[in-house]
Structure 1
Amino acid sequence: MTLPTYFVSHGGGPWPWMKDQYGPAYDRLEASLKAMRHEAGERARAVLVVTSHWETPGFMVSSSSAPGMIYDYGGFPPHTYRIAYPAPGEPALARRVAGLLTAAGHPAGLDPERGFDHGTFSMLYPVYPDAAMPVVQLSLRRDLDPQAHIEAGRALAPLRDEGVLIVGSGLSYHNLRQFGAGGGAASRAFDGWLQETMALAPDARNAALLRWSDAPMARVAHPREEHLLPLMVASGAASGEPAACVYHEDDFFGSLTVSSFRFGRVGGPPPTRSTNES
């Protein structure tokens, strides 16, 4: 069975460990993440996270068998700097990922020192709270070229038939200077474009993603696009397959509109892949 791929709006900081402070603010996001585990089911044997919190000159893959923790946030309670998410890595999968990318013309290296950043461990905790599922991370390429990231997704597509769940972890709106009431209009406008784009036929979807910066309020929603680029990988890895919105709310942090998307079908026969996309 071919696994779907996902782009997840991963929320802010170490939110699963701050429910006393946030109350029900993350309930809808948490429910969507738990649903992802159900949709992947027993077919998933490992997760590849394309993380918006790791940029390198060329693609890099975390290759430790026991990744550490990276607390890449500030101003949170002391206990959030003692979080442990002891999921194992999988060096063999890391080599497979790097090999697929390199063979497709996108040289990739291995980083045995890279630990889990919060775009990985905060997002995965609701999905696999027992931390038993092996996890490998893929960096973004520092040039943030959307074409390269869509192509990287295409190169990684065979992993979906090998039990690897590909998850792009970012945010559909990421302007920290306008995070709250000031960002409401921009987040709604950009999300409206995203919803229209995800509803397109797959070839047209990927072509539109290449021109994402022409979307309404694009550079307000993403002054820098590192939290959007994981979407390109997830979409590219499901080339020829439809997208569906699996999480959406219009009052994130009071007024922001944010969404997550699934690419490919849940269950059913392997898809017929497109070979002539833009």
Structure 2
Amino acid sequence: MSTLPTFFLSHGGGPWPWMRDQFGNAYDQLEASLRDLPRQAGGKPKALLVVTAHWEGRDFLLSSSARPPMIYDYGGFPPHTYQIQYPAPGSPELAQRVASLLGDRARLDPARGFDHGTFSAMYPAFPEADVPIVQLSLRHGLDPAEHLEIGRLLRPLRDEGVLIVGSGLSYHNLRAFNAVGAEASHVFDAWLRETMAEAPAERTARLLEWERAPAARMAHPREEHLLPLMVVVGAAEDAVAEVVYHEDRFMGALAVSSFKLG
């Protein structure tokens, strides 16, 4: 079995795949990139480990149910978006495997369901919902070095048929998720794409100091949507990165990107 790449995905806003009437073609580029994910990964993986920006804990938490429920962690959307079902199975076995790699830093959560950072991104990529998914949380404190280190511990999964996906957004300032935030999103996204193109050691060093990037705190007033990137970089630290999705006018004004490593 070949070594799988890792991905950081900008997952869009809310339950967008189920809101075509409202959004029109606003998500066409993102949807196309997500539909292409299995090909980019080299085929359908054995399982998915999704590092989600929408879950944090005192430990690194792992969803361990065989049949995860749904979590509609958004507000103000049409009634039908609170009935969405994405019936992908969980994998208690993979959750245990990840826990064994992370040691006493990790804890299983059999009640945790799929949040929209997972189901909105994975539905276009795997619409048949036939790939088992385990979610991994972030840890309180959002320390980039710690999340990079966790990624390094997860590296063996890439040789076991498990696709490691970080689901977040390269720009996430909900108070300026429009033309107000355009300049900051473009400046930060350019820095991020430049950083990801660096040699591995320089890339890691720059990411650890991400707060020094231009417009960093305007782009990420709180960094939970950026931290999944640290995990997937750690899991493929020596790999070359490439941009697999980029828009300059997302939601009319914003720059956003997704990356593949390996």
Q: TM range, normalised to the smaller chain?
A: over 0.9
Q: Which residue of 1 aligns with 2:142?
A: 144
CA distance in 1, matches of 2:204, 2:67: 35
Choose 198-207 or 69-78, whichever is displaced more: 198-207
Tell whether 2:112 aligns with 1:111. Answer: no
Q: Which residue of 1 aligns with 2:190?
A: 192
CA distance in 1, matches of 2:92, 2:194: 38
CA distance in 2, matches of 1:151, 1:43: 27
Structure 1's consecutive aligned runs of 4 or more residues displaced over 4 angstroms after TM superposition are none
Alpha-carbon displacement from aligned partner over 1:196-215 (angstroms, at most 9, x marks no partner):
10110011111110000000
Contact 1:50 1:168 in 2 (8 A): yes
Letter in 2 for 1:97: V
CA distance in 1, matches of 2:13, 2:44: 29
CA distance in 2, matches of 1:171, 1:43: 24
Q: Which residue of 2 aligns with 1:78?
A: 79
Q: Which residue of 2 aligns with 1:4?
A: 5
Letter in 2 for 1:230: P
1:39, CA displacement in angstroms? 1.9
1:142, CA displacement in angstroms? 1.0
Runs of 5+ consecutive residues of structure 2 not aligned to the other structure: none
CA distance in 2, matches of 1:88, 1:203: 37
Question: What is the TM-score with the length of structure 1 in the denominator?
Answer: 0.93
CA distance in 2, matches of 1:172, 1:63: 28
Q: Which residue of 2 aligns with 1:177?
A: 175
Letter in 2 for 1:263: L
1:41, CA displacement in angstroms? 3.7
CA distance in 2, matches of 1:198, 1:42: 24
User: Which of these residues, 134, 153, 156, is aligned with residue 154 of structure 2?
Assistant: 156
Q: Which residue of 1 aligns with 2:35?
A: 34
Alpha-carbon displacement from aligned partner over 1:107-144 (angstroms, at most 9, x marks no partner):
10000000000000000000000111000000000110
Q: Which residue of 1 aligns with 2:129?
A: 131
1:40, CA displacement in angstroms? 2.1
Contact 1:10 1:170 in 2 (8 A): yes
Q: Which residue of 2 aligns with 1:271?
A: none
Contact 1:10 1:169 in 2 (8 A): yes
Alpha-carbon displacement from aligned partner over 1:21-49 (angstroms, at most 9, x marks no partner):
11111110011111111122446110000
Alpha-carbon displacement from aligned partner over 1:43-77 (angstroms, at most 9, x marks no partner):
61100000000000110110000000000000000
Contact 2:158 2:164 in 1 (8 A): yes
Q: Which residue of 1 aligns with 2:22?
A: 21
Q: Which residue of 1 aligns with 2:211?
A: 213
Contact 2:11 2:167 in 1 (8 A): yes
Question: What is the TM-score with the length of structure 2 in the denominator?
Answer: 0.98
SS of equivalent residue, structure 1 residue 24: coil
Letter in 1 for 2:95: A
Contact 2:38 2:44 in 1 (8 A): no
RMSD of Structure 2 on Structure 1 (CA): 0.8
Contact 1:197 1:205 in 2 (8 A): yes
Q: Which residue of 2 aligns with 1:243?
A: 241
The percent of aligned pairs where both chains have the same amino acid is 67
Q: Which residue of 2 aligns with 1:202?
A: 200
CA distance in 2, matches of 1:98, 1:120: 20
Give the number of equivalent residue pairs. 261
Contact 2:64 2:95 in 1 (8 A): yes
Letter in 1 for 2:186: R
Runs of 5+ consecutive residues of structure 1 not aligned to the other structure: 265-278
Q: Which residue of 2 aligns with 1:54?
A: 55
Contact 1:43 1:163 in 2 (8 A): no
